[in-house]
């Protein structure tokens, strides 16, 4: 079975150049690889040489981290043009961005910052998502954030806000189940309730990752979306809950810090793949669409 040109019985991973040699040598049975768009906005060099070789054997997804979809000002036209260049060059199966902001005036903050969920923010995000889709000439996926604070001025909860952005723009959704878990712990809510209410019919990709425990200056525990370890059982369980309802969709491990050698990454891919195949078999057994 495939979705958007990606096999749904095999998980994928974020591509790391340190794994390139092992991937070429072993040709692993992997569903797809994801790259951050900003790493390929230059004209050439080793990054493009590697990605062109990888693209010959595997589907690619492009994940943007710097567009600042939720920023109050206009989108950076130069950045958006460069993103279009990457998408046109590699024709990825999927293109995604974050529901977050990372710019202020001419400054770039190198972070994915939370938004107040208000009518004003909804109008901004809707306009920006529509603009990106118009420039790229294709649907993008919007990813739910990991959050550490909430805003008193918010008049939507996050799920309702995302549902309305999707309705107005026709975009797809990237469900990051680790972000759901991290945010639920930090906000004192139930991750399963978030999944129950999420517009799962529009989910075209899933991210999984590891998170790290931390403590604030007042001694309160919280979680950081660290991407620095294997997917914990809590996140795997939430993933299985989600795909039991969506059916198998392109799913992958993000491991961006303290990146392990390729065999450890492949083991995580296989763990996710096992869950995808189990869900597919259940759907076939019970004829679940």
Q: Between 284 and 264, whose confidence is greater?
A: 264
Report the candidate in 100, 108, 99 with the shortest Cα–Cα distance to residue 79.
Answer: 108
By percentage, how much of the chain surpasses pLDDT 70?
A: 93
Q: How far apart are CA 188 and CA 245, in angstroms?
A: 24
> Helix (H, G, I), strand (E, B), or coil: what is residue 213?
strand
- Cα of 175 vs its chain's centroid, Å: 7
Q: What percent of the chain has pLDDT over 90?
A: 82
End-to-end CA distance of the chain: 13
CA proximity to 96, closest of 36, 166, 161, 14: 36
- Shortest CA distance to 55 belongs to which of 15, 25, 1, 95? 15
Q: Is the pLDDT of residue 25 over 60?
A: yes
Confidence of residue 109 (pLDDT cuts 50, 70, 90): very low
Q: With CA atoms as reference, report the closest residue to 248 among 17, 31, 14, 22.
A: 31
Above 60 in pLDDT, residue 271? yes
Domains of the chain: 2-286 (3.20.20.150)
User: For residue 174, what pLDDT band results from cuts at 50, 70 and 90?
Assistant: very high
Alpha-carbon distance values, 50 to 46, 54, 96 (Å):
6, 6, 21
Please tell me the predicted confidence (pLDDT) of residue 1.
Answer: 81
- Is the torsion defined by CA of 241, 159, 254, 202 positive or negative? positive
Residue 289 reports pLDDT greater than 50: no
Q: What are the structure tokens assigned to 153, written together?
A: 């001025």
Joined tokens for residue 227: 């991407």
3-state secondary structure of 146: coil
pLDDT at 150: 85
| Residue 80 confidence (pLDDT) above 90 | yes
For residues 117 and 156, what is the distance between their CA atoms, to the nearest angstrom? Answer: 5
**Average pLDDT score over the chain:** 93
Residues forming beta bridges with residue 254, ordered by sequence position = 209
3-state secondary structure of 62: strand
- In 10 A of CB 127, how many CB atoms? 15
> Is the model's pLDDT at 111 over the cut of 60?
no
* Length of the chain, in residues: 289
Q: How confident is the model at residue 112 (pLDDT cuts 50, 70, 90)?
A: low
Residue 256 binned pLDDT confidence (cut-offs 50, 70, 90): very high
Task: Give the pLDDT confidence score for residue 74 in this predicted structure.
Answer: 93
Whether 40 shows a pLDDT value over 60: the answer reads yes
Q: Are 88 and 137 in contact (CB under 8 A)?
A: no
- pLDDT classification of 93: cutoffs 50, 70, 90: very high
Q: What is the mean pLDDT of residues 53-80?
A: 94
Predicted pLDDT at 180: 97
Residue 288 has pLDDT above 70, yes or no: no
Q: For residue 105, what are its two tokens?
A: 């005036």
pLDDT at residue number 114 = 81
Which of these, 6, 68, 62, lies nearest to 36 by C-alpha position? 62
Strands 172-176 and 94-98, by their bridges, are unpaired
Mean pLDDT of 235-239: 98
Mean pLDDT of 20-40: 97
Identify the DSSP state of 218.
T
**Residue 95 contacts by C-beta under 8 Å, 6 or more apart in sequence?**
61, 62, 63, 64, 87, 136, 138, 140, 141
Cβ distance 5 to 59 under 8 Å?
yes
Q: Residues 127, 129, 132, 133: what is their CA dihedral angle, to the nearest 10 degrees?
A: -110
């Amino acid at each position: 079975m495939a979705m958007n040109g990606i096999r749904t019985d095999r998980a994928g991973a974020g591509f790391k150049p340190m794994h390139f040699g092992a991937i070429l040598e072993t040709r692993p049975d992997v569903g797809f690889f994801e790259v951050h768009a900003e790493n390929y906005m230059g004209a050439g060099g080793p990054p493009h040489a590697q990605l062109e070789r990888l693209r010959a054997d595997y589907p690619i997804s492009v994940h943007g981290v710097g567009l600042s979809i939720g920023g109050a000002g206009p989108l950076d036209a130069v950045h958006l043009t460069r993103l279009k260049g990457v998408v046109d060059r590699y024709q990825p199966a999927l293109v995604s961005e974050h529901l977050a902001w990372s710019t202020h005036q001419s400054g770039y903050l190198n972070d994915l910052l939370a938004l107040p969920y208000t009518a004003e923010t909804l109008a901004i995000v809707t306009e920006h998502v529509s603009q990106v889709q118009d420039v790229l000439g294709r649907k993008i996926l919007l990813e739910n954030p990991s959050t550490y604070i909430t805003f008193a001025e918010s008049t939507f909860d996050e799920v309702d806000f995302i549902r309305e952005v999707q309705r107005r723009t026709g975009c797809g959704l990237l469900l990051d189940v680790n972000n759901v878990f991290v945010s639920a712990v930090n906000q004192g809510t139930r991750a399963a309730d978030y999944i129950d209410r999420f517009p799962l019919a529009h989910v075209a990709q899933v991210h999984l990752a590891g998170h790290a425990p931390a403590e604030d200056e007042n001694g309160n525990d919280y979680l950081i979306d660290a991407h620095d370890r294997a997917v914990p059982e809590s996140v795997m369980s939430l993933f299985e809950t989600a795909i039991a309802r969506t059916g198998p969709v392109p799913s992958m491990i993000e491991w961006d810090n303290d990146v392990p050698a390729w065999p450890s990454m492949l083991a995580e891919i296989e763990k996710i793949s096992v869950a995808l195949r189990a869900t597919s078999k259940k759907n076939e057994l019970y004829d679940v669409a």
